Amino acid sequence: MTRPFALSLLALAVIPFQSAIQPLSGPVRAEVKREAWHRGCPVPLSDLRLLSVSYRGFDGHTYTGQLVVNRSAAAPLALVFRQLYALHFPIRHMSLANAYGPLRQRPADGDVSASFECRQAVPSPCVGGSGTGTWSEHAFGEAVDLNPVENPYVGCGQSRDPRSRSNFNRSQHRPGMVTPAVVRAFRSIGWGWGGSWTGSTKDYMHFSASGH
């Protein structure tokens, strides 16, 4: 192994985890208000925070990701992402532009990890439809979806995203799939996992404060 290559590997190995929690700036507030918040949402914009964290990409490199979350969840989630970073758990896309930017500029693969979105809970693929009539935990900023392509929302052998079909079989682990260690990281702050729901409906991407 050459010395420059060895030094570059060492540099990658020692990049420390970093996190920051900030109120929504004017531009961020405007972006979220345009794409994911509206009057009547269960939380005001003042109760949301911008959480920035280090994460590992699928290429092994370190990136800075951003999530909009409830202010009460920001510090606990920073602890979770610190654990995911230590586990070298790869995340595909996690930025404000990925979640709230113009649709034409968002990742074509749709594999975006995100949190806040003021919307109703999505019904099981068993049922169909677009809403349940109750707020999603995402509408409170108290839920996170991780790598939705690798971790699909499934029910009755179906998913809303055909790109995720190859990941229905959870016994064949692939990079980016939620592991028991990832579940433990979220459980360490009291959050539950949609992959542990009873019945045929499983939301493998979904973690939330209530477990729903």
What's the pLDDT tens digit per position in 67-92?
A: 999 999 999 999 999 999 999 999 99
Single pTM value for the model: 0.90
Distance separating alpha carbons of residues 56 and 85, to the nearest angstrom = 6
Statement: residue 167 has pLDDT above 80: yes
Q: What is the dihedral of CA 92, 96, 97, 98, to 10 degrees?
A: 30
pLDDT, tens digit, for every residue of 92-123? 999 999 999 998 889 999 999 999 999 999 88
